[in-house]
A = this chain, B = another copy of it.
Amino acid sequence: MALQFKDNGLIPVVIQDDDTDEVLTLAYMSEESLRRTLESGQVWFYSRSRQELWHKGATSGNFLNVRRIIVDCDDDALLIRVQPLGPACHTGERSCFHRTLEDQETAE
């Protein structure tokens, strides 16, 4: 079966550090972002808020070099193992997943 870009033409993508196994972020790809990712060897997402292709790291320099692309059993999600060239989160944290649910609730 072909890859399913079924959320408005997008597929969700989990990014995992290939050296540390840390989950870095969850974002979305269009067919065109996947094409550019395969071509360049660096992760390209599709930004749902800005509605545009997004070369991850273009602003910060923190590009994600692709090591391996893995497809899930239903062909509707990707896992990409990467070598990150810097923090993956716009806050400067290594991972976008850096607060427990309790932390988040306490901060409200």
Residues of A within 8 A of B (CB): 1-3, 7, 12, 14, 16, 21-23, 25-26, 68-75, 77-79, 89-91, 93, 96-101, 103-104, 108
How many monomers of this protein are in the complex?
Answer: 2
Specify which chain B residues have a CB less than 8 angstroms from the CB of A7 in the assembled complex: 7
Specify which chain B residues have a CB less than 8 angstroms from the CB of A93 in the assembled complex: 73
- The answer to whether B72 and A97 touch across the interface, beta carbons within 8 angstroms, is yes
- The answer to whether A79 and B97 touch across the interface, beta carbons within 8 angstroms, is yes
Specify which chain B residues have a CB less than 8 angstroms from the CB of A68 in the assembled complex: 100
- The answer to whether B12 and A71 touch across the interface, beta carbons within 8 angstroms, is no
- The answer to whether A26 and B12 touch across the interface, beta carbons within 8 angstroms, is yes
Contact of A77 with B26 at beta-carbon distance under 8 Å, contacts A101-B70, A104-B71 already known: yes
Q: Give the distance to chain B from A40, nearest Cβ to Cβ, in Å.
A: 15
Among B2, B75, B90, B100, point to the contact of A71 (Cβ < 8 A): B100
